[in-house]
Structure 1
Amino acid sequence: MSRPTSDVHVFEAHASDADLDDLRARLAAARLPEAETVPRDATGSGRWEQGVPLADLVDVVTYWRTEYDWRSFEKQLNRIGQFRTTIDGLGIHFLHRRSPRADATPLLMTHGWPDSVVRFADVVEELADPADADAPAFHVVVPSLPGFGYSDRPSTSGWGTEKIAAAWVELMGRLGYDRFLAHGGDWGGNITTVLGGRFPAHVLGIHTTFADAPPGMTTDGLTAAERAWAEDTHDFWARRAAYAKQQAARPQTTGYALVDSPVGLLAWILDKFAEWSDTEDSPFETISLDRVLDDVTLYWLTRTGASAARIYYESHNSLDPDLRVDVPSAITAYPRDVEKCPRPWAQQRYRQIVRWSEPERGGHFPSLEVPDLFLKDLRDGLAALLAVTHGAR
């Protein structure tokens, strides 16, 4: 039974002028290293071989200091509707947009790292009140993960993906949503998998851009394309996942730089937007500079560089190998995502895949890179879940 409560309070974001002035002063006083030692004629991804190129970083820092407007994004969050509630002693922040449609279905959307509620800010309104009257509508809830954004920073260990998933069920119940759909990518995809596997009484179905197969899968019987996916994922974890291993092993050490230096925080996050997006060079080919800075500035103003990194310490490689998802599942594999799970592997965990999608474009942040394509694919996936759910009644 749904159980709306009064333990949910309206929240409005409003950074102090002093904090914004301090940010600009730190940017102006930043000490930068020399340029990277890649060939001068390097192009495309070759320019980023050693990380964020100095020239690119200087341009972004200059824009951040002299032109970027945090107040604009702050107003957008407040227009969507922001709230906080306390679950297991921890304050949880979330966006909540109720649909005006009587036929709307509750939808929980969970972000990952190094993003935030920024990942979904531009699609919430269209999901809740679609321009097309024939499109499905949703009551959209977008929580900030513990230690991220305006959620509290945990002071004790234990806030891993299993506990977060349980907290999300409690959150949805407080809003009156006893049964709901769930979507997520990155850590949000992991949490969405846990939701589907642990809480089938509450979860109607899941849509994820991050399918996670059980360990021990072999490449026997895979197609050439599926083998390539497996090889790319292996290469990613072997050669390009130092950030994850550092944050899993020593998040506190990394956190000092991320909380003290806005330029260090920017470089740490921008590197991932560049490497994980479906672009040939700069992430700004598909993601607006302002959106990336909205994300980085949210981390900066809330001092969450260290606390957000701890999700790796709490949950890295912790998904229960025996967890199975029996609720209807829709899975999307974007072509330039960093991890893509072959369908035969996914089927070993997700027992009822009702839709499998492989779009032609998009990377790890599809809602920011290809928002129109993302919206259509998400709607199609959620519609497939609802068709199964309604057919079972």
Structure 2
Amino acid sequence: MVSYTQFTLETRAFRLSTPPEALQELRDLVRLSKLGPRTYENSYAGGKYGVEYEWMAEAKERWADGFDWTAVEARVNEFPNIKAKVVDDDGATYSIHFIGLFSQRKDAIPLMCIHGWPGSFLEFIGFLSALKAKYTSENLPYHVIVPSLPGYGFSDSPPVDRDWTLQDSARLLHKLMEGMGFEGGYAVQGGDIGSYTARIMARTYDSCKVLHLNFCAMTCPEEAADTPLEAYEREALERSDKFVKFGTAYVMEHATRTATIGFVLSSSPLALLAWYFNPLHVDRLITDKLGRIGEKFLTWTHETPSMDEILASVTLYWLTQTFPRGVYPYRQEVIDDTHGSMTDAECRRVIKDGAKRYMFHPDPKYYCEKPMGYSWFPYEIVPVPKAWAATTGNLVWYRSHEKGGHFAALEQPEALLDDVEEFLKQVWGPK
């Protein structure tokens, strides 16, 4: 690793290996946890009111007696895993975990890819695998860094004695990139909360040269109000409207009762599983015009992830206590005492409208003057049209897709990789 990067940070190799007793405790807790009674809402409403009983019962059985976390560990350990000590401006030191790939090319482009909630670095395993299949370390065009955000996975928690914002997370990730010798310039890519963090980095730090997003949450800006939309954009926005109306209660819970929901979901792995899966799960009738009543799918994804993919992510969250440590961005997103200033009337409107407030992307303070790319996926929860996204920065590259949703790196890793590569070929000039 050190043969082709110039580290100034203290780093150590990290190998994922969970103690057997921790895995046994998790299996025991899953077996002992009760599902609760059958109800109309969880058994006969077609998923309209959340996760169904049959799915939870199947997941419980699989998690307790069939799911193999060690297979996930083995796949993760196929890639370099590093923990780096990042010193913040106030002298505090944070251990930040990242997984990635490093090139031996001197002209390799440093690229950071940032996850969101309820995601993790696991989302990008397919993305990294596609890179490994396409390139060797000798001809890989990039150094790819996929960090765990502070509070997520194997990264340290934010401090408990003061507030922590996405600006703080962005600062640490920027220091991580510079500390690995990439102060000459790097690219950043993000979806979900990672898109906010990535935009902050591009707007704030000179060495962050270009920005690629697959999430650009915002409402229609005045300057794009009269711009005609493509038919596929209108159709996607109709789905998004249903999601806002029926699928965003979790946002207010995260933002306004952050401590409470943290205790609740730390008390039972089944509670965490239900909550993790619940915001994704809706009746197909609500979101699709095909009329196949009761047929399930995930609104955040185009195709339902496998049971083991879901259990892998929830297991990571449980073993690392990620949920209570990593839910902090929602306070900032809904009722923000640090990012901007809201009038009392605006605060009341936010609560009345179900917290439909989007930060950073439409904020003029975070307009990205640097080259920006945007990948549009049809089952994104907030599928912002190209014309809207173009008002938030110097949009020089755009592509729409026919498949894929909110977790683009997980669902469509090859497509996202193609997008990022094409974008970088267009905007990254010779050093």
TM range (shorter): 0.7 to 0.9
Does residue 327 (structure 1) correspond to residue 332 (structure 2)? The answer is no
1:257·1:264 contact (CA, 8 Å) conserved in 2?
Answer: yes
The structure 2 residue matched to 1:266, chosen from 261, 264, 273, is 273
1:194 aligned residue: 200
1:240 aligned residue: 247
Shift of 1:228: 5.0
What SS does structure 2 have at the residue aligned with 1:47?
A: coil
Change (3 A) 1:360 1:211: same
1:127·1:140 contact (CA, 8 Å) conserved in 2?
Answer: no
What SS does structure 2 have at the residue aligned with 1:141?
A: strand
Q: Structure 1: which amino acid aligns with 2:385?
A: P
Count the aligned residue pairs. 382
TM norm structure 1: 0.87
Residue pairs, 1:308-387, within 5 angstroms:
308-316=326-334, 317-319=358-360, 321-322=363-364, 323-351=366-394, 353-386=395-428
The structure 1 residue matched to 2:215, chosen from 210, 219, 225, is 210
Does residue 9 (structure 1) correspond to residue 15 (structure 2)? The answer is no
2:226 aligned residue: 220
CA distance in 2: counterparts of 1:15 and 1:360, whole angstroms: 39
Q: Structure 2: which amino acid aligns with 1:371?
A: P
Shift of 1:160: 1.6
1:119-157 CA-partner distances (Å, limit 9, x unpaired): 102221433662499x97321101111111111122234
Shift of 1:344: 1.9
Shift of 1:100: 3.9
2:78 aligned residue: 79
CA distance in 1: counterparts of 2:256 and 2:9, whole angstroms: 39
2:35·2:56 contact (CA, 8 Å) conserved in 1?
Answer: no
CA distance in 2: counterparts of 1:214 and 1:273, whole angstroms: 21
Residue pairs, 1:29-40, within 5 angstroms:
29-37=32-40
1:305-326 CA-partner distances (Å, limit 9, x unpaired): 2111222124444427222101
CA distance in 1: counterparts of 2:401 and 2:209, whole angstroms: 24
What SS does structure 2 have at the residue aligned with 1:48?
A: coil
Q: Structure 1: which amino acid aligns with 2:257?
A: R
Bigger Cα displacement from structure 2, 219-228 vs 116-125: 219-228
Residue pairs, 1:115-134, within 5 angstroms:
115-127=119-131, 130-131=134-135
What SS does structure 1 have at the residue aligned with 2:309?
A: helix
Shift of 1:34: 2.4
What SS does structure 2 have at the residue aligned with 1:361?
A: coil
CA distance in 2: counterparts of 1:6 and 1:269, whole angstroms: 34
1:147-172 CA-partner distances (Å, limit 9, x unpaired): 11111122234332212112111100
CA distance in 2: counterparts of 1:181 and 1:39, whole angstroms: 44
The structure 1 residue matched to 2:320, chosen from 298, 302, 309, is 302
What SS does structure 2 have at the residue aligned with 1:205?
A: strand
Shift of 1:366: 2.0
1:334·1:359 contact (CA, 8 Å) conserved in 2?
Answer: yes
2:229·2:385 contact (CA, 8 Å) conserved in 1?
Answer: no
Change (3 A) 1:86 1:132: closer
Change (3 A) 1:235 1:274: closer
What SS does structure 2 have at the residue aligned with 1:293?
A: helix
Q: Structure 2: which amino acid aligns with 1:111?
A: H
Indicate the percent of aligned positions where both proteins have the same amino acid.
Answer: 27
1:16-48 CA-partner distances (Å, limit 9, x unpaired): 1111111111111111122341597x7xxx622
1:281 aligned residue: 296
1:85·1:92 contact (CA, 8 Å) conserved in 2?
Answer: yes
Aligned alpha-carbon RMSD (Å) = 3.0
CA distance in 2: counterparts of 1:156 and 1:188, whole angstroms: 24
CA distance in 1: counterparts of 2:270 and 2:50, whole angstroms: 14
2:109 aligned residue: 105
Shift of 1:233: 3.9
What SS does structure 2 have at the residue aligned with 1:121?
A: helix
1:149·1:304 contact (CA, 8 Å) conserved in 2?
Answer: yes
2:262 aligned residue: 255
CA distance in 2: counterparts of 1:361 and 1:233, whole angstroms: 16
Does residue 94 (structure 1) correspond to residue 109 (structure 2)? The answer is no
Shift of 1:56: 0.7
Q: Structure 2: which amino acid aligns with 1:301?
A: L
Gaps of 5+ in 1: none
Q: Structure 2: which amino acid aligns with 1:347?
A: A
1:36·1:53 contact (CA, 8 Å) conserved in 2?
Answer: no
1:36-95 CA-partner distances (Å, limit 9, x unpaired): 41597x7xxx62211111101111111111111111212222231222223323322111
Gaps of 5+ in 2: 289-294, 335-357
CA distance in 2: counterparts of 1:35 and 1:148, whole angstroms: 33
